[in-house]
Structure 1
Amino acid sequence: MKKLTFTFFTLAVTTAVFAQFPQRTPTPNDTLQSVRQLADGKVKLSIYAPKASEVTVSGDFPNGFPAAKLQKDEVGVWSFTTATRVSPNVYTYDFNVDGLKVFDPKNAQYKESNSGVSNLFEVKGPENDFQTLKDVPHGKIEKVLYKSTALEGASRRLHVYLPPNYDEISKKEKLPVLYLFHGGGDNDASWTTIGRANLILDNLYAQGKLKPMIVVMPAGHTHIQGFFMGAGAQQDPFCRDMVQDVIPFVEKTYPVSNKREHRAIAGLSMGGIQAINLALWHPDLFSQVFPMSTGYFPNAIAEIKEKYGEVMRNKTINSFKNFKIYMGGEADIAYQNNLNMMKMFDEFGIKYTYENGGGAHTFLAWRQNLKDFAPLLFK
């Protein structure tokens, strides 16, 4: 009798719970695969938006710029298929539904930036091997807050990559540091989301190509107005923050060396100019410099020639172990600015090396650049 009473009670409670939460009507979205690689190597992108009037998608995948229009089927799924095969790589994409940027709810892979998030997808293959998640020892990423005296006491965030076996290595030696900057519109998380810096470095460590190092990825935008692409470190509040706060904070917080030969600096686009400004105006702080897809604008070049000739002739600049400039091909929007900048460097006798590749002004180029220069560091 007791057993029968308990069964009726349980059934009553269960019925009451389901009465409060009625079953949802299934939709095509339940089983939708928003990113699919087709048999012919093309990629199909889809989103369920039955009430939408127009849907587009844009990104750095083939045919993703300018935005491509999606076609709606009879059940409300909008789709777009690339016109050509998509090579193995990691790509970003953004859906736009009736004028509103929409995060793909079926894909948790994302890029973080100052203006929000974008989705990403990976096409696997041999060309992509260097930046994919593999069964190797992994480093770890820390999100760290610090107080910036240069920026009115603001609390700021850094991403810090610590190498595999960091706990053991750091007991034995002071580690060198690579300061790695993002571009305009992005933030300190961009290099570890779409940039895949941690996976690239993990795989290089596994191949025995890297000397153990810490990689510090700061936020290049500030709440204080400044000329981020201008001539000289003093025009950019971020550069002041780097010298006054970031470097001292890192050297106080982590077991790192404070020697010039153990600091390197790299950056892309806006971050490339920030790296150049720091390197040229503070050459005593860094031993290696790697700007990517960047170049001074004509007005900044004119200002440098007029006001900062003495800075450019500082002999310490030509003592950099590496000063290598990368460009993403003629399609890179910084291509002409870079040519102008290198011509100015030649006039001042500044020594550098130059590599013009592909990938335009995107992480398709910058991930390759990181793979190329990271093994050069601190050897």
Structure 2
Amino acid sequence: MKNTLTALFFLLGSLAFAQFPNRTPTPNDTLKSVQIQEDGKLKFSIYAPKSSEVRVSGDFTGGFPGLTLEKSEIGVWSATTSGPVSPDVYTYDFYVDDLKVFDPKNSLSKESNSGYSNLFEISGEENEFQTLQDVPHGRVEKVWYKSETLDGVTRRLHVYLPPNYDEISKTQKLPVLYLLHGGGDNDASWTTAGRANLILDNLYAEGKIEPMIVVMPAGHTGIPGFFMGAGYWQDPACRDLVHTVIPFIDSNYPTLSDREHRAIAGLSMGGVQTLNTALWNPELFSYVFPMSTGYFPPNIQEIKDKHVDVMTNKEINNFKVFKIYMGGETDIAYQNNLNMMEMFDGFGISYQYQNGSYAHTFREWRRNLLDLAPLLFR
């Protein structure tokens, strides 16, 4: 019996070697695709020996339009940023012969509506608010629901539940923040690139925010069209939010479903969706936070021509907080936002304004979330 088992193990081992022959080592085996240098600069590398051109872009300093990598004699392409990169969380994408390639050396990713981008983190004190800390953690649920508003299609959203939710929910109902993503992203983006769950975990640990449910719906619906006009009914995602998502959350989670305990915030495309949803339905929300956004000039004219009644609705000035965030003068929505605020001023709408410095990126929006969350439900 012993000899039979020995022969069997020898046979299985031989088959394994036959199926997985020894592979010739390559420089990729030990390659580090993103390295922080002693001088604070970032070095990007990728092994692509048969390629003719490689670029890298992202929201790191110098990441737009990006860096062109140079090829070494062993097939490794590399480039280094021109200056140091501060501690933060950044996205990046390799383009190999104009094909977007997910970095095979890094599993940390951002999910979007069109695929994945890589993430990397540079540690430092100013970055700690958005990193994994030794604190109690909430949980993030992926939830599927049927949208009767959109002809019964099944859609996905993400829900963040605070630390100790199971105990808290036994004795109390919770307020809700609806947190909307930008164009091209999806309902997972706020918990990958946005680090929303980690930011909120750390704020809870510091005693700076109240327990709340955070709902991150999908802002794209699959319906063709450009839905950045004025009025929530023009955007199928806004209609879905008002008529399906909010009732669904109130029916399936222990929520405080009155206006005083409901907030909405969104960035870029999601910022316009925030405005369209809240300004046309002010009875639903008490806290409103558009980020890096603004109506386009034709839509401002549309509002002035057709929606004066909406802009002069006194309920808008009954928001507890209506705060507009911008990512500085280099934010692509900067001028649209200035135009929009001028229109709001003309209609006598009260709001707060905070201008940042990280342009149209999650570097700015994560800090917006850090600022707005402590303002809620106090």
TM-score by length of 1: 0.98
Secondary structure of the corresponding residue to residue 77 of structure 2? strand
Aligned residue number for residue 324 of structure 2: 325
Instruction: After superposition, give the CA deviation of every residue in 1:43-97 in whole Å (9 maximum; x if it has no partner).
Output: 1111110101110000110111112111111211111111111100000000000
Q: Runs ≥4 in structure 1, deviation > 4 angstroms?
A: 2-6
Aligned residue number for residue 153 of structure 1: 152
1:297-308 equivalences under 5 Å are 297-308=296-307
Conserved in 2, the CA contact under 8 Å of 1:90 and 1:121?
yes
Q: Identity over the aligned pairs, expressed in percent?
A: 71
Name structure 1 gaps, 5 residues minimum.
none
Aligned residue number for residue 201 of structure 1: 200
- Cα deviation, residue 23, structure 1: 1.2
Aligned residue number for residue 83 of structure 2: 84
Conserved in 1, the CA contact under 8 Å of 2:67 and 2:81?
no
1:338-353 equivalences under 5 Å are 338-353=337-352
Aligned residue number for residue 36 of structure 1: 35
Please tell me the residue identity of whatever aligns with 2:58: G
Secondary structure of the corresponding residue to residue 301 of structure 2? helix
Please tell me the residue identity of whatever aligns with 1:174: K
TM-score by length of 2: 0.98
- Cα deviation, residue 11, structure 1: 2.6
1:81-230 equivalences under 5 Å are 81-230=80-229
Q: Work out the CA distance in 1 between the residues paired with 2:250 and 2:24.
A: 57
- Cα deviation, residue 219, structure 1: 0.4
- Cα deviation, residue 227, structure 1: 4.3
Secondary structure of the corresponding residue to residue 284 of structure 2? coil
Q: Work out the CA distance in 2 between the residues paired with 1:275 and 1:300.
A: 15
Q: Work out the CA distance in 2 between the residues paired with 1:102 and 1:53.
A: 14
Q: Work out the CA distance in 2 between the residues paired with 1:7 and 1:255.
A: 61
Please tell me the residue identity of whatever aligns with 1:34: S
Conserved in 1, the CA contact under 8 Å of 2:142 and 2:158?
yes
Please tell me the residue identity of whatever aligns with 2:41: K
Secondary structure of the corresponding residue to residue 264 of structure 1? strand
Please tell me the residue identity of whatever aligns with 1:299: P
Please tell me the residue identity of whatever aligns with 2:24: T
Aligned residue number for residue 235 of structure 2: 236
- Cα deviation, residue 32, structure 1: 1.1
From the superposition, tell whether residues 17 and 247 of structure 1 become closer, same or farther in structure 2 (CA, over 3 Å): same
Aligned residue number for residue 51 of structure 1: 50
Q: Work out the CA distance in 2 between the residues paired with 1:341 and 1:366.
A: 19
- Cα deviation, residue 314, structure 1: 0.5
Instruction: After superposition, give the CA deviation of every residue in 1:107-126 in whole Å (9 maximum; x if it has no partner).
Output: 00111111111001000101
From the superposition, tell whether residues 6 and 258 of structure 1 become closer, same or farther in structure 2 (CA, over 3 Å): closer
Q: Work out the CA distance in 2 between the residues paired with 1:117 and 1:73.
A: 27
Q: After the TM superposition, which of the residue ranges 77-86 and 331-340 deviates more from structure 2?
A: 77-86
From the superposition, tell whether residues 324 and 18 of structure 1 become closer, same or farther in structure 2 (CA, over 3 Å): same
Conserved in 1, the CA contact under 8 Å of 2:55 and 2:96?
yes
Q: Work out the CA distance in 1 between the residues paired with 2:4 and 2:140.
A: 55
Q: Work out the CA distance in 1 between the residues paired with 2:95 and 2:32.
A: 18
Instruction: After superposition, give the CA deviation of every residue in 1:189-221 in whole Å (9 maximum; x if it has no partner).
Output: 100000000000000001000100000000011
Conserved in 2, the CA contact under 8 Å of 1:225 and 1:237?
no
Q: After the TM superposition, which of the residue ranges 42-51 and 210-219 deviates more from structure 2?
A: 42-51
Q: Work out the CA distance in 2 between the residues paired with 1:185 and 1:20.
A: 42
Q: Work out the CA distance in 2 between the residues paired with 1:315 and 1:35.
A: 52
Q: After the TM superposition, which of the residue ranges 351-360 and 3-12 deviates more from structure 2?
A: 3-12
Instruction: After superposition, give the CA deviation of every residue in 1:262-317 in whole Å (9 maximum; x if it has no partner).
Output: 00000000100110111110000000000000000010000100111011111110
- Cα deviation, residue 228, structure 1: 2.2
Q: Work out the CA distance in 2 between the residues paired with 1:148 and 1:9.
A: 57
- Cα deviation, residue 373, structure 1: 0.5
Q: Work out the CA distance in 2 between the residues paired with 1:9 and 1:80.
A: 51
1:65-84 equivalences under 5 Å are 65-84=64-83
From the superposition, tell whether residues 73 and 153 of structure 1 become closer, same or farther in structure 2 (CA, over 3 Å): same
Q: Work out the CA distance in 2 between the residues paired with 1:264 and 1:5.
A: 70
- Cα deviation, residue 17, structure 1: 2.6
Q: Work out the CA distance in 2 between the residues paired with 1:186 and 1:155.
A: 18
Aligned residue number for residue 357 of structure 1: 356
- Cα deviation, residue 25, structure 1: 1.2
Conserved in 1, the CA contact under 8 Å of 2:108 and 2:120?
yes
1:252-263 equivalences under 5 Å are 252-263=251-262
Q: Work out the CA distance in 1 between the residues paired with 2:7 and 2:257.
A: 73
Q: Work out the CA distance in 2 between the residues paired with 1:93 and 1:335.
A: 24
Q: Work out the CA distance in 1 between the residues paired with 2:314 and 2:4.
A: 92
Name structure 2 gaps, 5 residues minimum.
none
- Cα deviation, residue 99, structure 1: 1.2
